[in-house]
Amino acid sequence: MGNKNAVPYGHREEVMVTRKARLAAAAIAAAAALTGCGGNTEKSAGGGPVEVTFWGWAAGYDKSVALWNQSHPGIHVKYEALPSGGSTGYDKMLTAAKAGTAPCLAQVGYETFTSFLAAGVLQDVTEYVKPRRAEFPDWVWSNVGVDGKAYGVPVDTAPMAMFYRADLFKKAKIAIPKTWAEFTKAADAVKAADPQARIMNLPTDPYLFSGFAWQRGASWFGVKGDSWTVSIDSAANAEVGQYWQGLFDKDLVTTYPAFDAALYSAWSKGKVWSEVGPVWSASLIRDNAGGSSGKWAVAPMPRWDGTDAVGNSGGSSTAVMKDCKHPKEATEFALWMSTDDQSVSNLIVSAAILPASKSGLANAALDKPESYYGGQPIYQLFRGEAGKVNPTWQWGPVMATTASSLGDGLGKVPTKGGTFQDALTGAQQATLSALQTQGFSVSK
């Protein structure tokens, strides 16, 4: 056994984190025990409908809840919208869980789910989802549980693709790249066609970068028995980082901050010709680059040579919190929200999701032509790409630290204050330190 200082700077070996993936293992055991603590009551104490409270923030969730309540008088879901997602919403959920006042259900992103599980605030609902597991792809279930157990229900996924200015590529006679090697050649061609333009903005957002790592099979976390593995600073991750570092060093990408108005303006004015990003980038580009409406199109994400894997960057679940007194009913609603045709149609239109369920992916709302994208039914492409998402990805229990450290490191690349490799090495060490601080033991 060692401590955080025993991990040499810059090493790329996979590191075993022991005992308190036990934090996760203990949380699993605790959650399983809580499932048996009188949580199977099917009627409220007063004999009326069972009351299930649901906290979330995504657009359209309230409409799906209303649809449920109209047709399920025995189980009433009370939806309470949080002011925002991210840390604000999650902090409120965790605080409520500690105080015993958390809701039955909570909207939790896949990247945060393992952290909630490690904190012991979720409840095992495996027995309630088991009859319907086949309605979702296997890899999606791995985002809402560990070792085959489930602590919530998947809602959506976020496979990645290449959004691009079809008008500009056509005018410059540049072929849409099918591989990352071709993407580099296209980047050269874009700069040659317009010295003031670039093919894409540098991916310095940690979760966007995770999607590229995900595609390459460059894992960050893994589980072996009761142990976590951490491999953010691996050779596979370094390969992904080196690719983007190479484009930056050759001045083939822009360096606007992620989600910045300057980037949106560059999209609209044709100074950035593409964005390789998740499905939700469709609405991000549409809503922030109105000046280029009708000029965009979507193509498959460039592939690494010899592979046909796609990355994923986003997606969320309906998690069942540990103090829920009606986990069976809560899970019944969560499954319905993710599979019912009316509910899914609502979420596609309102929240621009790509459904996680197989029936949701067959929903006709995904076949609608999108005028912003020149009439292309872009979600048909994402429907096909969803089945190609690399299924091996595993999020870790301290993603707030991992993402913060990686984001800080990547943010230094545009000013040449650091490299992608520096960011990966820093995130590896920060993650290991956080695990140890929270009680994990680390062995090399």
pLDDT-based confidence at 201, cuts 50/70/90?
A: very high
Per residue in 168-183, pLDDT (tens digit) is: 999 999 999 999 999 9
Q: Is there a single domain that holds both residue 237 and residue 308?
A: yes
Q: Is there a single domain that holds both residue 300 and residue 411?
A: yes
Q: Is there a single domain that holds both residue 184 and residue 302?
A: yes
Q: Is there a single domain that holds both residue 48 and residue 144?
A: yes
Which of 212, 216, 221, 182 is closest to 199 using CA atoms? 182
pTM: 0.89
pLDDT-based confidence at 36, cuts 50/70/90?
A: very low
| Residue 171 lies inside a defined structural domain of this protein | yes
| Residue 3 lies inside a defined structural domain of this protein | no
| Residue 23 lies inside a defined structural domain of this protein | no
Calpha distance 144→258 (Å, rounded): 27
| pLDDT higher than threshold 60 for residue 30 | no
Q: Is there a single domain that holds both residue 56 and residue 145?
A: yes
Q: Is there a single domain that holds both residue 201 and residue 249?
A: yes
Report the chain's C-alpha Rg in angstroms: 22
Helix, strand, or coil (residue 256): coil
Which of 329, 318, 330, 331 is closest to 61 using CA atoms? 318
| Residue 183 lies inside a defined structural domain of this protein | yes
| Residue 372 lies inside a defined structural domain of this protein | no
Per residue in 400-442, pLDDT (tens digit) is: 999 999 999 999 999 999 999 999 999 999 999 998 898 876 5
- Phi/psi at 260 (5° precision): -110, 150
Q: Is there a single domain that holds both residue 326 and residue 415?
A: no
Residue-level pLDDT at 46: 58
Give the tokens for residue 403. Answer: 């993402």
| Residue 275 lies inside a defined structural domain of this protein | yes
- How buried is residue 287: exposed, middle or buried, by Cβ count under 10 Å (0-12/13-18/19+)? exposed
Q: Is there a single domain that holds both residue 203 and residue 326?
A: no
Q: Is there a single domain that holds both residue 297 and residue 424?
A: yes
Range of the domain at 102: 36-158+314-362
**Which of 340, 362, 384 corresponds to the end of one domain?**
362
| CATH code (residue 225) | 3.40.190.10
Of 181 and 229, the structure prediction assigns the larger pLDDT to 181
Q: Is there a single domain that holds both residue 288 and residue 350?
A: no
Per residue in 321-335, pLDDT (tens digit) is: 999 999 999 999 999
Cβ–Cβ under 8 Å, residues 435 and 221: no
Structural domain count of the chain = 2
Q: Is there a single domain that holds both residue 96 and residue 164?
A: no
| Residue 259 lies inside a defined structural domain of this protein | yes
Q: Calculate ∠ Cα 150-156-158, nearest 5°.
A: 120
| Residue 383 lies inside a defined structural domain of this protein | no
Residue-level pLDDT at 229: 85
Strands 75-81, 50-56: pairing kind: parallel
Q: Is there a single domain that holds both residue 171 and residue 141?
A: no
